[in-house]
Amino acid sequence: MTSPPQSLHRALGLSDDEYEGIVTVLAREPNHLELALFGVMWSEHCSYKSSRLHLRRLPTEGPHVLVGPGENAGVIDAGDGIAVAIRIESHNHPSAIEPYQGAATGVGGILRDVFTMGARPLAVMDPLFFGELTDARQRWLVEGVVSGISGYGNSVGVPTIGGELTFDDCYSSNPLVNVLCVGALPKERLVLGVASGVGNLAVLLGSSTGRDGIGGVSVLASAGFSGADGAASIDDAKRPSVQVGDPYEEKRLIEACLALLDDHLVVGIQDLGGAGLVCATSETAARGGVGMDVDVTAVPLRELGMAPFEIMTSESQERMLAIITPENLDAVTALCKKWEVRASVVGRVVEPERLSDGTTRGMLRIRNGFEGEILADVPASALADDAPLYDRPRKRPANLDDVRADDPTFDEPVGSASDDLLDLLVDPLWVHRQYDTQLFLNTVVGPGRDAALLRLAGPGLPDSKRGIALSTDSNPRWCALDPRIGTALTVIEGVANLACVGAKAKAVVNCLNFGNPEHPDVMWQLSESIDGMAEACVSLELPVIGGNVSLYNESGGSDIDPTPVMGLLGVVDELVAPPPGWNWGSDDVLVLVGERRADGERPFPLGGSRWATKRGRRGGVIEDIDHAALTLTLDFVVGEIAAICAGGASDVTAVHDVGGGGLAGALAEMVAATGLGADVVELEGHAELFSEFPGRFVMATNDVEAFQDRARAQGVSTTRLGTVGGDSLRVGSMIDLPVTRIVSRRRDALENALGALV
């Protein structure tokens, strides 16, 4: 046994076994700098060491996939010579400690991931999860996170077009701040983060390097919060690991990098995110199979006396690494000068080392001056690719059977369904109106509807009449009860949301927010969730083109509910008119499209529903749905709405998928959107009102016979629900609510909870 010096490796987040692994790779003991490099690169956040094994089970291929998982962003061919890049990330732990900067730098980081691919970022979405707003700390977090996203996104000039807002006690010490970004590029401009060409230069672009964010990936992102009151108890100690954002620097960096790519001045480009310079240099060198010499003295610093390990692992924001040929250095410098972006040569691509067995391996050498002392000398691929791969123990939670048996589906209703419905209504407008949703003038459907819809247009893109649709979805309540079916249904929910704006789903990205992977029941949840996602994606022929795994979302030993967030990307082939949205008109006939009942013993399951959760009933069984019927329904809805987007005449006047709040929730949201009531037939009890199983749509039509004929011709079930009109929403004998009450209750719910109206 080698005895590591004072267990420095443990302080850096490395286990004893991992330390031994490093000694084996190097065939010697690492020095402190080398150990620090391994500490960040082999962190859970950078290496996916607990999840990689399972992620391999996801389907990742499709004829339109240009870049799959593992790169900075996934990319699909959207047609008309345009490629679309998409990426999702988490910035959970930084946001728990410093909500404004944590959320702001999350936006900055995801933008860099996308323009690293040569794509101009076109839109951002932010799924957010907090504890209940009765707690003052949660209100502080919500306001901080939302203003951080707003402050950075609006200023950098990329619209924020949606994202979900979920409140549940399981997030009170560990909020989740996920961020998704989509960008587009002319197909031929696609670039990858590869260093190649011995003698080429690595140029650091953008901000100077400071002590902010040192160890962010290992200290913050790859460990849970220990205190019983979560972030509150340790935030002061961890705050220096949070970075600070500068959106104006980022804006100039975006423009400079896209201009460098347009002028063919770079060989490869990589953003500096988690693990900073060591990650960017080792990953680009490893992908190119070359070595790289990095001169730490050439890195522009914003603080005095920084040690080499601080320079190499700092997560200072707004930095990129470009690999260029020496001949282009003057042109690169001139272009960066125009955009007032700092450019410094900090590295050189060098020959890989030749091993005795004839193979080669590129070494990352950190030097004190290019010809000076070698401070660290490690194989780039060992840092980037050779982190240990763990098959951590998995165990089905012992209490799961009891939890599932405690099913609220057959609970007798208490009180009136009208009051139950009012309790479920929340309009997230307070959040969305703080986001600039319209930048680039592409936003056809903004936040707060089923899915966002953008024209596929932007500076430098070929002309196109296509649109792209985006949705983020999650359902931690389902996933807590059944991570496999829950995740599958979450994918379906996302696909259904896209259908509401006429888009056919083309790809999935995912952000898997889970608890501590060293807890066997968390690993079981993660593995089951991945299987559920794989099953749904195979069934719907959807490739998974990227993802992020955020583990250690725990506090005081208590894990969050499994929260896989699905980001869905869809395409509308011709977008010249807006989709109908929720805008039904008087005398339109309402039709439920899709299978009325779930597939199983519970026709209207309530396990995991908002209705049950509100009543403190968190158990139950999640029923699967009939995938063959679902596919027919989805194709039908996409076809109906896409025809309207293409400018065709239609009898369809409104569409909304049945999601949170169930059928009653969907109807109430449409009432609130239009100010028009509706008369709906008697349903099969409150369970049908509030059951949330996906794959169903409320549609309105002004020619119900023609509409139902078309559905029938495609083998799709429809059920007549009633008629639009009047100044109240009535559902049989169960619900009778004035439109004004629905409107005001939904409008004020969030602001009242935040105390903004008090």
Partner 1 sequence: MKTLGVAVELVWHSTTDLSDFDGVILPGGFAHGDYLRPGALARFSPVMGAVQRFAEEGGPVLGICNGFQVLTEAGLLPGALQKNVGLAFLCQPTTLVVTSNNSVLTAGATLDDELVIPINHFSGSYTCDDETLERIVENGQVVLRYKDNPNGSRADIAGLANERGNVVGLMPHPERAMSTLLGSADGRVLLESFVAANVAA
**Active site annotation includes 519:** no
CB of 260 to partner 1, least distance (A): 18
Q: Which entry of 9, 32, 64, 91 is annotated as an active-site residue?
A: 91
Contacts for 517-522: CB closer than 8 Å, 24+ residues apart: 517/44, 517/50, 517/51, 517/390, 517/392, 517/551, 517/552, 518/392, 519/554, 519/559, 520/392, 520/393, 520/394, 520/395, 521/394, 521/395, 521/396, 521/397, 521/398, 521/559, 522/551, 522/559, 522/562
Nearest distance, CB of residue 51 and partner 1, angstroms: 36
Cβ proximity to partner 1: between 147 and 360 the closer is 147
User: E strand or H helix at 232, and its extent?
Assistant: helix 231-238
- d(CA 364, CA 383) in angstroms, rounded, equals 9
Which one, 370 or 440, has the nearer CB to partner 1? Answer: 440
Torsion of CA 369, 372, 374, 379, to 10 degrees: 60
Diameter of the chain by CA atoms? 84
Q: Find the shortest distance in angstroms from Cβ 433 to partner 1.
A: 5
Min separation Cβ 333 and partner 1, Å:
18
- Closer by beta carbon to partner 1, 147 or else 728: 147
Nearest residue (CB) to partner 1, 31 versus 744: 744
Q: Is 527 left (phi over 0), alpha (psi -120 to 50) or beta?
A: alpha
Half-sphere exposure of residue 652: CA atoms within 13 angstroms, side-chain side: 34
d(CA 335, CA 259): 8
| Residue nearer to partner 1 on the CB measure, 193 or 446 | 446
**Smallest distance from the beta carbon of 208 to partner 1, in angstroms?**
16
- 428, with CB counted inside 10 A (0-12, 13-18, 19+), is middle
User: Can 91 be counted among the known catalytic residues?
Assistant: yes
Summarize as ranges the residues that interact with partner 1 (CB under 8 A).
147, 150-151, 154-155, 157, 246-249, 251, 432-438, 441-444, 455, 575-578
Q: Least separation, in Å, of the C-beta of 207 and partner 1?
A: 13
- Rounded to whole angstroms, the Cα distance separating 470 from 124 reads 10
Closer of 54 and 112 to partner 1 (Cβ) = 112
Which of residues 455 and 519 has its CB atom nearest to partner 1 in the complex? 455
- Tell the smallest beta-carbon distance from residue 248 to partner 1 (Å): 3
Cα angle: 599, vertex 600, 601; to 5 degrees: 145
The catalytic residue among 45, 432, 656, 686 is 45
Could you give the C-alpha distances from 226 to 16, 136, 231, 516, 698, in angstroms and in order? Answer: 21, 21, 8, 12, 45
Tokens 């950075």 correspond to what residue? 152
Whole-number minimum distance, CB 602 to partner 1, in Å?
Answer: 41
Contact 480, 612 (CB under 8 A): no
State in angstroms the smallest separation of the CB of 642 from partner 1: 15
Instruction: Return the ∠ at Cα 325 (arms to 320 and 329), rounded to 5°.
Output: 70
Give the nearer residue to partner 1 in terms of CB position, either 256 or 278.
Answer: 256
Contact at 8 Å (CB) between 379 and 362?
Answer: yes
- Residue burial 430-447, b: 16+ Cβ < 10 Å; e: rest: bbbebbbbebbebbbbbb
| Cα distance between residue 679 and residue 731, in whole Å | 6
The rounded distance, in Å, linking the Cα atoms of 284 and 305 is: 28
Of residues 36 and 444, the one with the C-beta less far from partner 1: 444
Residues 33, 42: Cα–Cα separation, whole Å:
14
Token pair for residue 379?
A: 């194989």
d(Cα 508, Cα 506) in Å, to the nearest integer?
A: 7
Active site (catalytic) residues: 45, 91
